Amino acid sequence: MQTNFTAAQLADPHVAESEKILRKCVHCGFCTATCPTYVTLGNELDSPRGRIYLIKDMLENGRPADKEIVTHIDRCLSCLACMTTCPSGVNYMHLVDHARAHIEKTYRRPLMNRLTRGVLAAVLPYPGRFRAALQLARLGRPFANVFDRVPALKPFAAMLRLAPASVPAASAMATPGSHAAKGTKLGRVAILTGCAQPVLEPGINEATVSLLTRLGIEVVVPKGEGCCGALVHHMGREEAALASARQNVDAWTREIDSGGLDAIVITASGCGTTIKDYGFMLRLDPAYAEKAARVSALAKDVTEYLATLDLPEPQRKPGLTVAYHSACSMQHGQKITRQPKDLLSRAGFVVKEPREGHLCCGSAGTYNIMQPEISARLRDRKVKNIEATGAALVATGNIGCITQIASAARLPVVHTVKLLDWAYGGDKPAGLE
């Protein structure tokens, strides 16, 4: 694609990066066929190619974002299916990240939209606040239908509906410290405890620690790590995202420099995509660029790490049929497609792949709160395809997808690592009785 940026515009490294990305796009439109919003809405401006044109126009003219571009960029799930499909290697992720940061700086959103985004950014990344908010949401649940009648309050209705009926107790596992390897020590990893996941489902990290330590891996919960920053990053709040990234880079660098780390194990693929991008996000910060690149290189989804180990024979072969839902951040963001399915098969599960596996389930961070109608259409489509497999349960590697699919599916939705932990001698996941 031809671009027309001035030399002065290209002096901004963010614009220069976006210009390189734009030049790779050859307008072929292959990406439209696999874009969930184009498939759902049928509007070119809600396709990757349409959004790329809108972003190009906004950046080239150096103008503030307007309502039209904000509408279409907000509808983008950042699922990155377009990056998997694109034959020209267009890095849509970095382009849309830049567009979102530009929107955040130049566009004043309506009051309720600002308020909702502000609440999400102030609550979700902090486990204590999030737990308190979920307790409150239980009380507010009966009012969801009332909120639904006012368009500006629909996100609050969606929040209330997504809140679980009960909130699990906090896990001691999230406390900084070290979980020793059982038997001969074969490795040492750090685990990202995360922010929303340990509140909604503390059993995921518990199963990870239980499985890895039994396999001879010491698991460290580093002091000072926090939210990966993905939530605010996708809102265009660049400084807040970079502050989270720096905090985590510092925490993991201390561990790398003291005991050494073979990997930074991540159990939520949404977080994994962002942490693997820390090297890019902090490339312009001389104090952090090298450390962040090192952290990104060590970041591994738990299934990606498990696939590098010499696993013993499983202690039990459950023989259950599992529909494997590959989160977008897993298959498109991190290009991890084979390992989770291979691990499940090896552990004795019969793995089925639902139709349209490339399409997002509509979770996408806070998308199911901010864009509840499109999100519900995608969720229902996903659940229909999952249920058509005839599987007894769903396995997936991202808490957002677990919450989203479980809100409509009639079968249990379990994190992949909990099934693997069970097969290799751990507890049976709750809900499979």
Chain residues that interact with ligand SF4, rule: CB under 6 A: 25-31, 35-37, 48-49, 51-52, 76-82, 85-86, 88, 90, 92
Helices (H), 174-227: 197-200, 203-214
Whichever of 37 and 396 has its CB closer to ligand SF4, that residue is 37
Least separation, in Å, of the C-beta of 429 and ligand SF4? 30
Q: Which helix (H) or strand (E) holds 251?
A: helix 238-258
Q: Which helix (H) or strand (E) holds 352?
A: strand 350-352
Least separation, in Å, of the C-beta of 113 and ligand SF4? 19
Whichever of 88 and 315 has its CB closer to ligand SF4, that residue is 88
Whichever of 49 and 246 has its CB closer to ligand SF4, that residue is 49
Least separation, in Å, of the C-beta of 96 and ligand SF4? 7
Q: Exposed, middle or buried: residue 61 (CB in 10 Å: 0-12, 13-18, 19+)?
A: exposed
Least separation, in Å, of the C-beta of 81 and ligand SF4? 4
Least separation, in Å, of the C-beta of 380 and ligand SF4? 17
Contact 134, 167 (CB under 8 A): yes
Q: How far apart are CA 85 and CA 359, in angstroms?
A: 12
Q: Using DSSP, how many helices (H) and how many strands (E) does the chain show?
A: 25, 9
Whichever of 68 and 257 has its CB closer to ligand SF4, that residue is 68
Whichever of 37 and 269 has its CB closer to ligand SF4, that residue is 37
Whichever of 92 and 252 has its CB closer to ligand SF4, that residue is 92
Q: How far apart are CA 339 and CA 258, in angstroms?
A: 30
- Tokens 């074969």 belong to 186
Contact 431, 403 (CB under 8 A): no
Least separation, in Å, of the C-beta of 88 and ligand SF4? 4
- The residue type of 228 is C
Whichever of 202 and 270 has its CB closer to ligand SF4, that residue is 270
Q: What is the DSSP letter of 331?
A: I
DSSP readout, 121-170? Answer: HHHTT-HHHHHHHHHHHHHHGGGHHHHHTSGGGHHHHHHHHHS-SS-PPP
Least separation, in Å, of the C-beta of 362 and ligand SF4? 10
Cα 308 to Cα 262, 287, 301: the distances in Å are: 11, 32, 11
Helices (H), 259-359: 269-275, 278-281, 289-298, 302-306, 328, 339-346
Least separation, in Å, of the C-beta of 79 and ligand SF4? 4
Contact 229, 249 (CB under 8 A): no
Least separation, in Å, of the C-beta of 328 and ligand SF4? 7
Least separation, in Å, of the C-beta of 342 and ligand SF4? 26
Q: Choose among 322, 305, 306: nearest CA to 414.
A: 322
Contact 18, 98 (CB under 8 A): yes
Whichever of 11 and 26 has its CB closer to ligand SF4, that residue is 26
Contact 313, 73 (CB under 8 A): no
- The residue type of 12 is D
Whichever of 205 and 396 has its CB closer to ligand SF4, that residue is 396
Q: How are beta strands 393-396 and 413-415 bridged, if at all?
A: parallel
Whichever of 36 and 279 has its CB closer to ligand SF4, that residue is 36
